[in-house]
A and B are shown apart, each in its own frame.
Chain A
Amino acid sequence: MKHEMLCRPSATAVRFALDAGEGLTCEVGAMIAMSSALTVETTSRSRGGGGGMIKGLKRMFSGENFFLNHFTAHQPNQTLLIGPTMMGDCVHHPLRGGTLVVQGSSWLAATDEIEIDTTWQGFSSALFSGESMFWVKCSGVGELFLSSFGAIYPIRVDGEYTVDTGHIVAFEDTLRFQIGKASRSLIGSLLGGEGLVCKFQGQGLLYCQSHNPPSLGQLLGPKLKPA
């Protein structure tokens, strides 16, 4: 399977070239266009994996969809085009036996070998960081595709690194994250507009996004006319 990122970085779509028998699991609604010899199967479980209803429900809590779409090519040289919901970039993350913890709405697609599960990140992360309590956990060996709001950039953390809430796309499970104050005093943190931030500790890869969906929502929400 080959892939190509189109129209980077502000309105990225991913084009896949699949050979007969190859497959891809995508977020519901991600497909833009596809060749005729591709079939789509919608289920609540990962391809070949267990789970079903429970995993589907857990995905819903993480901000993902209950269902997953599996695309399978039945002839060589089939094209599949997918894109994210929000305006922004996509990134390819080759998973080689590790685990990547992905913020719910950033998971876009994965090859069939990757196990997709949900992981609990605690009440405090949901209450204070504006992130969800459950995150999507991807593990195994395969190809993973993530999307972002705005640009996406990887950071190799070794030690400590601080990211503002709402800007996390994904992080390797070797990183630990905690909610903390942006500056030394809580009042200063709040007055500085940064409020609470996510502090990463350890060694591993972290993906961040340049924009933050809740901030856009807070900006637009009050200006919208009630229905």
Chain B
Amino acid sequence: MIDSNPTFRGGLFHADLPDGRSGASIKLTRTELVAEALCEGQPQFAIPLNECQLDLGGASGKMVFCRNADRSLTIFSEDPSFVAAVAQSAYGTLEAQFRSLRARRRGEANRFRVGVVAATLAFALVCVGVYFGVLAAARTAVRALPIRIDEQIGEMAIQSLVPEPRLDADHPATLLAHEIVQQLQPHAAIPEMNFRVLVVASDEVNAFALPGGQMVVYTGLLKKAESPEQIAGVIAHEMSHATLRHGLQGVSQSLGIVAAVQFLVGDLGGLVSIGSQLAQKSILTSYSRTAETEADLEGARMLHEAGIDPVAMAEFFALLEAEVGDIPDVAAWISTHPQHAQRVEDIRRLLQGLPKKQYRSLDLDLKATQQALQ
């Protein structure tokens, strides 16, 4: 009678078996689950269906386990037709057990998924928190460091970052830029900083500041300017980067973020060293939008104190933006800086808060300098 029923491949656990386990050939009768062990002697074991306790599990989560009342015998199979046959046997009495098992498994799987999503979100939040924490900590820490560190970094960077050819110290263009720096220096946030200016012979409209007060102005920018006050505007902006110590902040923030990433993720080895090498130039000479806005406002304050109209700085931005379309080189300086309209508005708002002042014009011959550059 047993032989007329279908056979399923599976296994069984019982203390009488060698190692307590064996593969088995399983048959389902009207009243019993019968397993024939695939080991020596091929002993047979049976569980009456009315005392069968079902469980779902195994590596796939889809294996069906049938146990007797005292759990001394377990018959299992992963064969899909076995699952269907067991569910329909014993006049449907096992179907209810199956349904509750499946519901429990679904609940567990859902809870696990929710847990994974929550853990991923928490990790992302920690990363964002660490990022902004490091930025804030770096800003605070940099203020406590001596200016000498900025100067040393700036000196190291001159050779690699300032292009050739550079104009002589007695060239009219260098003298003009130097004179502007002299007039602005007493009004800088750190007047004792060693401000110096180098003029690079290049048609690129560009200027940048290195940490410690070294500034670099391109002849292209001097030729493009319509008044000495506009040049003063750019130089005041660059001096502000130095006095606000944006270069050192960039370095320390990058180092801090690298350290934080290493702490969170583990050693990134080669990736970090390549990344840090690539970042060196951009860290020292280009700043975040926030830093640019800070430099605008501090530059405008310096110009106001020095009696130079800060609107000249805004005018120069406008001039550059108008020409970006025609001359690709102009893009160099403006591309890293905030939107022109926003900058002008920010400067005007700052001036409203400052006491009214009669602005003077700079007694410098820009035309002669521009002719000397031709």
Contacts and interface: CB of A to CB of B under 8 A. Distances in A.
A186 B126 CA distance: 14
B21 A98 contact: yes
Contacts, number: 70
Interface in A183-225: 186, 201-205, 218, 221-222
Decide if the interface of chain A is mainly helix, strand, loop or mixed.
strand
A203 B22 contact: no
A3 interface: no
Contacts of A99: 59
A141 B57 contact: no
A139 to B, nearest CB: 9
A98 B58 contact: no
Decide if the interface of chain B is mainly helix, strand, loop or mixed.
mixed
Nearest to A181: B115
A124 B57 contact: no
A174 B38 contact: no
Contact of A174 (B63, B116, B119): B63
Contact of A101 (B22, B55, B59, B74): B59
B38 A175 contact: no
B63 A173 contact: yes
B32 to A, nearest CB: 21
Contact of B61 (A101, A176, A205): A176
A174 B112 contact: no
Nearest to B270: A226
B112 A178 contact: yes
A8 interface: no
A123 to B, nearest CB: 9
A170 to B, nearest CB: 11
B59 A119 contact: yes
Contacts of B76: 174
A128 B267 CA distance: 18
A14 to B, nearest CB: 20
A171 interface: yes
A97 interface: yes
A58 to B, nearest CB: 16
A156 B20 contact: yes
B39 interface: yes
B266 A218 contact: yes
Contacts of A107: none
Contact of A124 (B63, B116, B269): B116
Interface in B19-43: 19-24, 38-39
Contacts of B4: none
B65 interface: yes
Contacts of B273: 226
A115 to B, nearest CB: 13
Contacts of B270: 226
B338 to A, nearest CB: 39
Nearest to A137: B59
A18 B216 CA distance: 80
Nearest to A221: B267
Nearest to A178: B112
B208 interface: no
A46 B164 CA distance: 67
A177 interface: yes
B60 A96 contact: no
A177 B21 CA distance: 20
A141 B25 CA distance: 14
B11 interface: yes
B218 interface: no
Contact of B21 (A121, A141, A204, A222): A204
Contacts of A186: 119
Contacts of A218: 266
Given A174-B58, A174-B76, A98 B119 contact: no
B59 A175 contact: yes
Given A173-B58, A174-B76, A203 B65 contact: yes
A119 B58 CA distance: 13
Contacts of A202: 55, 57-58, 65
A24 to B, nearest CB: 22
Nearest to A224: B269
Interface in A8-59: none
A173 B22 contact: no
Given A97-B24, A205-B21, A222-B267, A174 B39 contact: no
Given A124-B112, A176-B57, A176-B58, 20 more contacts: A96-B21, A96-B39, A97-B11, A97-B38, A101-B59, A119-B60, A121-B59, A128-B116, A141-B23, A141-B38, A173-B59, A174-B13, A175-B57, A175-B58, A175-B59, A186-B119, A202-B57, A203-B13, A221-B267, A222-B267
